[in-house]
Amino acid sequence: MKKILISVITILAVTTATIGATQALFTDEEVSTGNTFTAGTLDLTVDGKNGDEVATRYTITNWKPGDSRNVGQIKVKNVGSVNGKYWIEIKNVVNHENGCIEPESDDTTCGDTEGELGSKVSGYFQENISPWSHINPAFSSINAAEGIRMETATGTLDAGEERPFVLYAKWLPTDTDNLAQGDTVSFDIVFHLEQAN
C-alpha cells in the first residue's frame, strides 16, 4: 500500500511539473515613456480685454419715452483652445432716483435707490453678423432681465472665434413715465462661456 501511495504521489509530482513546464512561453515587454496629458483652456475676452481690464460701458443720456436706440457693439472672443457655449446675463441692477423733481409729484419712492427707469427700458441683444440672431429672451425691462440666461439657439463660440454683439434698447411710453424723470439705472452685463460638449 505504501508503494502504491508513493507511486501516486510521484505521478502527481511529474504531472504538475509537466503542466508547469508547458506554461512557460516566450515573453517580451516594452515601455512607452514620457506620456503627458495637457488640459485645454476656455478663455473669453470682451473687446480684447480680460478680467479687471474689461471696461466697456453702454451709456445713454437724455433718454425719453418713445426712444429706441442701438446702444453700441461689444466683441467677445474665445481665446482658449476649447470650444465653448456662450450666454449673456444682466446683473447688479441699481435704480437711482437722483431726487424727485416737481413733475414727479406722484412719486412716493424718492430714496436714492428707488428710481423707476429700470422698469421702463426694454430691449434685446443681437449678434451683429449674418444671420443676425437674437439673443433670447428679449427683456421687458432691465429690472426684469436681472439674472436671466440669454442665449441663441446654438450659442457656440469655437476656439479662436470672435462674435460682435449689439444692444438694442427702447422706452415704450406709458402713463407713469413722469416718475422716471431724472432717474438713472446702472447694471453689469456678464458674458459667460462654458465648455461645449
pTM summary value: 0.78
pLDDT reported for residue 57: 75
Rounded to the nearest integer, the mean pLDDT of the chain is 87
Query: Does 18 reside within a domain?
Result: no
pLDDT reported for residue 23: 67
Q: Identify which of 107, 169, 104, 98 has the alpha carbon closest to the alpha carbon of residue 138.
A: 169
Q: Decide which of 104 and 140 is more confident.
A: 140
Residue 74 pLDDT grade (very low, low, confident, very high; cuts 50, 70, 90): very high
d(CA 174, CA 80): 46
Query: Does 54 reside within a domain?
Result: yes
On the question of pLDDT at 20 being above 60, the answer is no
Q: What is the dihedral of CA 152, 93, 47, 69, to 10 degrees?
A: 70
Q: Identify which of 20, 144, 161 has the alpha carbon closest to the alpha carbon of residue 86.
A: 161
Query: Does 142 reside within a domain?
Result: yes
Q: Identify which of 69, 106, 90 has the alpha carbon closest to the alpha carbon of residue 185.
A: 90
Q: Which residues constitute the domain of residue 80?
A: 44-195
pLDDT reported for residue 59: 86
pLDDT reported for residue 106: 77
44-71 confidence digits (pLDDT tens): 999 999 887 887 678 888 999 999 999 9
Domain count, the chain: 1
Residues 151-171: b if buried by 16+ CB within 10 A, e if exposed = bbeebebebeeebebbbebeb
Query: Does 86 reside within a domain?
Result: yes
Query: Does 37 reside within a domain?
Result: no
Query: Does 4 reside within a domain?
Result: no
Query: Does 170 reside within a domain?
Result: yes
pLDDT reported for residue 170: 96
Residue 192 CB neighbours (<10 A): 16
Query: Does 134 reside within a domain?
Result: yes
